[in-house]
Copies of this chain bind each other. A is one copy, B any other.
Amino acid sequence: MLEKIDLGVTIDKETYRSEKDRLAIRLGELQRTLHEMGIPVLIIFEGWDAAGKGTLINELLMPMDPRSFRVHNFTKKESEDELFRPFLWRYWTKIPENGQIGIFNRSYYSDLIYRKSINDRDLRNMMKQANEFEQVLSEDGMIILKFFIHISKKEQKKRFSKLLGNDTTAWRVTTRDKKENKHYDKLYQKANRGLEQTDSGCAPWTIVEGEQKDYAIIKVFSVLEARLEKAIEAAKAAPKIEHAPLIHVGDRPFRSKILDGIVLDQVVSEEDYKNEIKEAQKKIRLLQYELYRERIPLIAGFEGWDAGGKGGCIKRLTRNLDPRGYTVYPTASPSDIEKKHHYLWRFWRDIPKNGHLGIWDRTWYGRVMVEPIEGFCTQAEYDRSYREINEFEKQLTDAGAIVIKFWLQIDQDEQLRRFKEREQNPEKEWKITDEDWRNREKWEIYKIAVDEMLLKTSTANAPWVIIEAQNKYYARIKVLNETIAAIEKRLNL
């Protein structure tokens, strides 16, 4: 892409002034409209060092309402917190909320260009993941613009020299910068290939000729104007979708019936339970240290029928663990801030550091169970969720994580028995709510959703493990043993 760029383009002072004033006013208006409509915008600035990204960002902020934007700066070198997580983590956690403009000063694109000691396969995988990231957010309604600010090797050298010539700015030019200029041609090839491979319909690149500042500003502003206007028009023209339940009894003939095939007749004596659980808890504590030493993160998700025993299993799983190395995340209704983001955002935020365990009591799978059943998402959102979730988990396992998902299965009679027991036990009464009873009435609908979910999201890298949970002892032991097995497999023990 870069080879077709004429870096000699300029704009005269008069055009610059009049256009800039007009565009500044217009961008302010568009921003307010986007804010009112709740549309998020992500603007990525990339380009050579000293290309003027900072200046462009500041110019862009001038007409904006400061309540509506946030600039995030990404360094070429990741912090320890970032380094110990999947490479998309630092970007996912900083996406703009609905109605906000997020500006990324550098991004995963720089990761792709500047990373050293990375083989081609890993690099291609990172690009794939970056593209997935953009697609997921764009399908969710985010407008994504990417600007690459381009200057020549000669111009870059000139700018560095100018900085070096002044005592107060000389220190800003690092050894790394000088090296970058020296290896400009090599980086140019990488940058060019990277641009080609990450240019997409939902998140296209704009190459900005950066040698004349005025030209660069007007180009960025104009591209933004055109794109934002188009997006607003499209959003206004989009038919309003009434949310309604998406799954109904009898919906899917010939569907696979995974849940129906689960046998629930396990029996475990109290004595066996006590011995086995103790043994397993000892073992998993040691394995936790191994994971820590090897810097392998483990992500365990618990789903299952209400009163299926998720909480009890999690308590037995964690009882003997070192609390410095694990966190349990109960998934409640999203907060107002969480609602203003893609549904995966809050799970990305809590992804554990390498070597740590993250355990979720209910998970991102709410997206394909309660949401379509209650009509909290659209058909299109529901339909693409399986792919989004599989990509999400693949990104985690590609980054080295063990991902394991438990479905706790009981039958309807057992659930009723547990509900009643809870109601009659003053210590457990708080655990049962009207919502539990309402969900129970939708048993058949949930079955459809769960069967589909188990089918579509049980992957080689992140399998679903069915836990026969009619017998609590059996369930708890199986959860521990399956977790142990997954860890041992990973550690090649």
Contact residues of A with B, CB < 8 Å?
25, 28-29, 32, 54, 57-58, 61-62, 65-67, 70-71, 73, 79-81, 103, 105, 168-169, 171-172, 286, 289-290, 293, 311, 314-315, 318-324, 327-328, 330, 332, 335-337, 361, 427, 430
Contacts and interface: CB of A to CB of B under 8 A. Distances in A.
Contacts of A172: 289
Given A289-B169, A427-B25, A73 B323 contact: yes
B58 A319 contact: yes
B427 A29 contact: yes
A214 to B, nearest CB: 16
B81 A323 contact: no
Contact of A327 (B71, B168, B327, B430): B71
A67 B330 contact: yes
Given A105-B323, A169-B289, A430 B32 contact: yes
B29 A71 contact: no
A73 B337 contact: no
A328 B66 contact: yes
Count of this chain's copies in the oligomeric assembly: 2
Contacts of A168: 286, 289-290
Contacts of A28: 427
A204 B327 CA distance: 27
Contact of A332 (B67, B293, B336): B67
Contacts of A290: 168
Contacts of A61: 315, 318, 323
Given A73-B324, A319-B58, A335 B332 contact: no
Nearest to A69: B328
A315 to B, nearest CB: 6
A382 to B, nearest CB: 26
A169 B58 contact: no
A171 B337 CA distance: 42
A189 to B, nearest CB: 27
Contacts of A311: 65-66
Contacts of A70: 327
Given A57-B323, A62-B319, A336-B337, 16 more contacts: A25-B427, A28-B427, A54-B323, A58-B319, A58-B323, A61-B323, A65-B311, A65-B430, A66-B311, A66-B315, A73-B324, A80-B80, A81-B81, A105-B324, A168-B289, A335-B336
Nearest to A71: B323
Nearest to A316: B62
A185 B58 CA distance: 57
A336 B338 CA distance: 11
A315 B62 contact: yes
Contacts of A286: 168-169
A322 B81 CA distance: 24
- Sorted nearest first, the 9 A-B pairs with minimum C-beta distance are A67-B330, A73-B324, A57-B323, A66-B330, A66-B328, A168-B286, A336-B336, A54-B322, A71-B323
A321 B58 contact: yes
A320 B324 CA distance: 44
A337 B58 CA distance: 31
A322 to B, nearest CB: 5
A253 to B, nearest CB: 39
B361 A66 contact: yes
A121 B430 CA distance: 51
A140 B58 CA distance: 40
Report which residue of A80, A290, A328 has the largest number of chain B beta carbons within 10 angstroms of its beta carbon. A328
Contacts of A314: 66
Nearest to A325: B73
A480 to B, nearest CB: 15
A311 to B, nearest CB: 6
A73 to B, nearest CB: 4
B58 A320 contact: yes
Nearest to A340: B335
